[in-house]
Amino acid sequence: MREKYPLLHKIGGILLAIADRVEACARKVEAVPGKGLEIFVLLVYAAAHLGMAVVHEPFFDEAEAWQIARSVTLKTLLLETTHYEGHPPLWHLILMPFAKAGAPYELSLTLVSLAFMGTAVFLTLRYAPFPRLVRLLLPFTYFFFYQYGVISRVYCVMTLAFVLLAMAYRRRNEKPGRYAAVLVLMCVTMAYGLAFAGGLALVWLREIGKEQMSVISAEPEAGKTSGRKFKELLCRCAVDRRIWCLAALLAAALAVIWMIVPRPDTFATVSVTPETIENSFVVRLLYTFFVLPSDAALTDIYSDHIILKQAYLMPSAMFSGVLIGMLVWGVLLCCGRKRGTTLLLVLPYGLFAVFSAAVYFSLHHIGIGLLYFCFWCWATAESGEREKMATDREEPERTVRCAAILLTTLAMSVSLYWTGAACKTDIEKNYAPGRNEAAFIRERRLDRYRMMTGWMIAYDTEGNVSMTDINQCNLAVNLAPYFEHNLFFNFNGGRDEGNYVTHRHLSEEETQKQYEIWSQEETPQVLWMMPELSTVYGGKISMRDYALVYQEDVWQAWKAGATYYESDIHVRRDLLDETGLRPLYESH
């Protein structure tokens, strides 16, 4: 082998040397006495999290959850809102006491997120069976720190749920109630939690069945028919606490499913946008199963801020992603085979991949797959090794170990770089419109005027308007938490109790009726994000009647890149003197 492929042998030697150095470094960190490093990391994590909260401007997903918690009643949330949101109500219930009590918006989001993520980090530092160096660096990787920490959403709860799941997994048979309770927590956190919990429940059920069958098979065979064995299996399962825990989990999962089943007029289920790109189910499944592991820690193949079905996935990049994903799967499967956790890896993640490809998947869901891989690595590290492999397999085993070390080192390095790049972008630029615009509106007292906001508009390939949805006033929500009342007369009728995006799609007849009502009322005096005036007012007014008085660049960070768009406010020209404003520049 050495004589035939000298270059490959040389490269292999270099890689082995790098792996050995990484292991040596990890051993040095492991040798540092006490828990000082863990305490230091926890304090740095909390300080950095709070520091980033000062500069991070909350975006739509953060504001939407807060506004739902602030605006709706408990009855409306449980019986109506969840059917349009597609999420269980847990995150809104967590925010509701703060939002309804009038607590500070940004501070409340930050402290709630830090409470969950800080707990997850503490438990990881204290209990994770990973090398100490990995435990110390993991809290600062991209999804742990920035995407699921600084950005305050339900993913912080999901992160903690996976950590708790990893802690409960080893003793699932001794304390089944605790394990099942964490699976229920995953179900009530996100729809994706249902897929993972379902897969884990099936793995556990198979394990219980095999255990009970082995007990039955060990008993004397005299007079035992297949029917009698099956009856005995049922009797044993009926008194097994684990089966009752699984039954409770099933009931909770069915309740959550009933709660989030979309209504017929839910925006996400109505085909309203012209799809210039429509990735097939096969392409989406290739992504979620093979490419996602790569995108979670190494690559950035899917980076469009739109759903996977419509995202542009470069064929060459997808091919590379599949190859890298197959390499990752190869390493994981080798480790899983040795520890007997192959099914635990493939079945739950496979259900997640199929569900994501078939139903819904967006950019920020990539980290959920990464969380499951972290859980699996934790569970695998705590699983007892199978029988020692034969001597002739020691070399392949060392190769797999080397590959695992190098892959982990590369993934951690890239992810830490993404964290730094995203934080730098967030510090230097505006992540989302809302905070600064609210200050400008309040300072200039523009909230006393009749304000109109823009809504979702889709254009065909020739640039003509092909779809409008006046209920999808997404950017109006960014401003809502900073004011006591709904600013916009065209946003859910200007109602305070409807000061969030309902995700209810209006029919064409309902839309035209609303246009007629607006056209007969006073024309707007202030515009936020340039609504399509011609569809409502015809030639009665146009953007020429308004002056641009505020504009700001927005850069929504994602890993080492960012998506750019502009935030703008227009005031009707006859009000410029009254407001003391002047056009930034003449246009239209």
For residue 470, the model assigns a pLDDT of 86
Pairing of the two strands 465-469 and 456-459: antiparallel
Instruction: Show the 3-state SS of 327-384.
Output: HHHHHHHHHHHHHCCHHHHHHHHHHHHHHHHHCCCCHHHHHHHHHHHHHHHHHHHHCC
Name residue 558's beta-bridge partners: 561
The pLDDT value given to residue 268: 75
Query: How far apart (Å, rounded) are the C-alpha atoms in residues 261 and 254?
Result: 10
Q: How far apart are the C-alpha atoms of 556 and 348, rounded to whole Å?
A: 32
- Assess whether 276 and 262 both reside in one domain: no
Provide the CB-side half-sphere exposure for 137 (13 A, CA): 19
Please indicate, yes or no, if residue 403 is contained in any of the structural domains.
no
- C-alpha of 542 from chain center: 40
Is residue 26 situated within a structural domain?
Answer: no
Same domain, 259 and 294: no
Question: Is position 453 within any domain?
Answer: yes
Domain boundary pick from 204, 238, 269 = 269
User: How many domains does one find in the chain?
Assistant: 3
449 and 533 together in one domain: yes
pLDDT at res. 469: 83
Task: For residues 356 and 312, state if they share a domain.
Answer: yes
Co-location of 309 and 202 in the same domain: no
Question: What amino acid is encoded at 215 in this protein?
Answer: V
Q: Can you give the pLDDT at residue 1? A: 47
Whether residues 336 and 466 share a domain: the answer is no
How far is Cα 313 from Cα 303, in angstroms, rounded to an integer? 9
Confirm whether 137 is domain-assigned.
no
- The pLDDT of residue 230 is 66
Asked if 575 and 483 sit in the same domain, the reply is yes
- The pLDDT value given to residue 464: 65
Strands 526-528 and 456-459 turn out to be: unpaired
Q: Which residues of the chain have pLDDT under 50?
A: 1, 222, 272, 385-393, 588
Asked if residues 432 and 109 have their Cβ atoms less than 8 Å apart, the reply is no
Residue 146: inside a domain: no
Q: How far is residue 395's CA from residue 331's CA, in Å, rounded to a whole number?
A: 15
The distance of Cα 369 from the centroid of its chain, to the nearest Å, equals 9
- Same domain for 311 and 258? no
* Residue 526 within a domain: yes
Which residues, 6 or more positions from 576, have their beta carbon under 8 angstroms from its beta carbon?
547, 549, 582, 583
Last residue of a domain, one of 361, 386, 411: 386
Domain housing 494: 435-579
Are 244 and 280 within one domain? no
Domain contains 125: no
Phi-psi category of residue 225: left, alpha or beta, with phi > 0 → left and psi -120 to 50 → alpha = beta
Tell me: do 444 and 482 sit in the same domain: yes
Enter the pTM of the model: 0.91
